[in-house]
Amino acid sequence: MILNYNPYKFHLNDNECKILTHFARKSRLEFSINKKVSRFKARKIFYDLINKNIIKIEKNCDLFTKNKNFAFQDKVIFKSNFMRFYFYFLKPYEKLIFSNKDEAYQKILSEFNNYLSYIFEMVACEFCERYFNIYGVQSIWGKDYECDIYYNDFDFTLLGEVKFNGKKMCLNSYSKLQNKAKLLGLEPNKFIFFSKNLYSKKLQNLNDNRLILASLKDFEKFK
């Protein structure tokens, strides 16, 4: 991709590229782009990018935040992984790619785990849908909380967290997730963790049939 990088691959103006780079690298919250361009221009660009089939909306299903001063925001999802990769790496490092491709490659390599963390979350949600035979697993967020995995209907409630970087998940991770459930007024049938670096022995030895500890190997079941 670096060797064949084409800065004119997509017919987008500078502001559109700036906003897509922001969504890819900084924040997926829809109103976060108001800091990049004026509010009215931001809204126009936002809907133009949706109409161009580049991004779509992940609806905020928060029903728990009662603070009227809190601005509810949806999040942005790139409609293709390539587009997100393009605006996460290629467009921001455009000058470096043209001047020093080897250095650009090393720069991308050093940040690649951060890029993959969101993909890991999306795959985890897909895994949950297949594993539990449900549809509509997504993240949920509000003023004082955020959960990577959320599903709730009349028969089944699921809450979970995903961790791609950093240390192993531990008992404290489970305590925090249970506290989030209490905050939301939920009594999940299952809690689920996905951790690339696995789990502490205490968490693995915990005798709680509501908790599922998943790993990269579990993804292989649904190839």
pLDDT tens profile 63-110: 677 666 667 889 999 999 999 999 999 999 999 999 999 999 999 999
Higher per-residue confidence, 2 vs 118: 118
Question: What CA–CA distance (Å, rounded) separates 114 from 87?
Answer: 14
In the chain, alpha helices (H) = 14-25, 39-51, 81-85, 94-99, 101-132, 171-184, 201-204, 216-219
pLDDT confidence of residue 36: 87
pLDDT digits 0-9 by tens, 21-36: 999 999 999 999 998 8
Q: Report whether pLDDT(223) > 70.
A: no
Q: For domain 121-222, which architecture applies?
A: 3-Layer(aba) Sandwich (3.40)
Give the single-character DSSP code of 161. E
Residue 181 pLDDT greater than 70, yes or no: yes
Per-residue model confidence (pLDDT) at position 157:
97
CATH number of 14-99: 1.10.10
Tell me, yes or no, if the two domains 14-99 and 121-222 fold the same way.
Answer: no
Residue spans per domain, the chain = 14-99, 121-222
| Averaged pLDDT, 138-146 | 87
